[in-house]
Amino acid sequence: MENRNTDQQVEIWLLDDDDIVRSTTAQWLRLSDYVVKEFHHAQELINTFSIGLPCIIVSDIRMAPIDGLTLMADCLTKEPEIPFILITGHGDVDTAVNALRDGAFDFLEKPFDPNRLLKTVEKAIQLRKVQRQRANQSQYLGDLHGLEETIIGQNEQIIRVRQQIRTFASMDTHVIVYGKTGCGKELVAKALHDCSPRSSHPFVAINCAAIPADLFESELFGHEAGAFTSANKQRIGKLEHASGGTLFLDEIESMPLAMQIKLLRVLQENQLERIGSNNTIHIDLRVVAAAKNDLQTLADFRQDLFFRLNVSQIHLPDLRHRGSDIPLLFEHFCRIAVKERGKDFKQLSPIDHETLTLYGWPGNVRELRNVALRYALEPNTSVAKILAGYQAQDDIDTITPLPLSVKVQEFERSLIEASIRQQKGNIQLVLEQLQLPRRTLNQKMQKYGLNRADYLD
């Protein structure tokens, strides 16, 4: 059964033993379309709390018999990543600042500005969504088997592609796979072969755009010794070699017109002759053709060949249309890279996660895989930095620009990282150099995935 990604709404768990303050705050949050669950006592929240819940916690500090700091320590012991926001009185500010070092997401000083509360809550909710998505991704990737291990993704279009592969594989008919460069057309063709009764026979792939026109016939049909000047010995062609199995013709729209006619005849008669031979060879093959554009609309592609191949179609979506599959695939490629090289896997920071989903991915899954490899193997880098490096090498007319918000955040990240490196991990010196409050620096380091320990001398 296909796995589907369930996107539960993140709740705000609001704890305050002052009924008026709690109900007023809850009402304000609900008016902004947040889901709020109210708690009067810390023990009530502790009894309800469990690992992995889609929630953030907003709690007052001064409560009895269990105060907010004790509650935070208990919750963070069970779930270290849970965003925990403290509400403090004036006398608790120093305590709250220290709590940031112990894992608090932020604190609000009474009486707090409602708009400040909304902004803080929204940031915490976005972080929680990223955390949960990462956890779901890791679980999904760990449970992969069969076709899902080859065609990875939870996007509805990808689920449909897997369903089509299962259906078409057993039908033993020709298939046309449509998709932009880098979408995984050969992967789909190989999956069709592996899921079919032909799986024990050869899978032969040909990139039609990569074969010179004068060598095309010899490549497909083979030749006898002496058939032409450089034919020193007999050669079996790709069509004959694929007999009993599957022939994958990538970029079939690039096939010369004369070869289209000859291929059509082979498919109609299930037989061929090598160049320089009069002997007919019977073949049995299935063709999976791949193209970037609709073959029926191309003036230089024969309609009769199109109709011969067009028994079934599979359409692959561009990566930018696959939503949550982007960080999922990114993690998959990262895990492969670090496993092969004996390195540790590093989780995406929230800003890296945002960059992945905002970028347009003109190179599709192929480009994503290359960026993931760089990210996995280069220390102290970011997705935006890698993409910016790729773009600097590309033609300005062919790149997909990074969104302005990503560029601004990456610039901010680079300044903070440079300061931490320059000060050799001494946070106090970083605070003085950047003139930032400690809690702001803590939040930004968490946001950008910067770890002080990585820069200690």
Higher-confidence position of 380 and 286: 286
pLDDT at 278: 87
pLDDT at 264: 96
Across the range 105-121, mean pLDDT stands at 89
Q: What's domain 156-316's superfamily in CATH?
A: P-loop containing nucleotide triphosphate hydrolases (3.40.50.300)
pLDDT for residue 275 is more than 70: yes
β-bridge mates for residue 58, sequence order: 14, 85
Q: Residue 402's pLDDT band (boundaries 50, 70, 90)? A: low
Q: What is the pLDDT of residue 396?
A: 36
pLDDT at 90: 67
pLDDT at 232 over 50: yes
Q: Do domains 11-142 and 320-455 have the same CATH topology?
A: no
Prediction pTM value: 0.73
Specify the higher pLDDT residue, 108 or 97: 108
Mean pLDDT of all residues in 126-138: 85
pLDDT in tens, 289-339: 999 999 999 999 999 999 999 999 999 999 999 988 999 999 999 999 998
Q: What would the pLDDT profile of 42-84 be if each residue is shown by its tens digit?
A: 999 999 999 888 999 999 999 989 999 999 999 999 998 899 9
Q: What are the residue ranges spanned by the domains of the chain?
A: 11-142, 156-316, 320-455
Q: Give the pLDDT band of residue 403 (cuts 50, 70, 90).
A: low
pLDDT tens across 187-207, in order?
999 999 999 999 999 999 999
Distance of CA 183 to the CA centre of its chain: 13
Question: For residue 369, what pLDDT band results from cuts at 50, 70 and 90?
Answer: very high
Give the class (CATH, top level) of 11-142.
alpha beta
Average pLDDT over residues 272-295: 94
CATH class assigned to 320-455: mainly alpha
- pLDDT at residue 219, as a whole number: 92
Percent of the chain with pLDDT over 70: 93
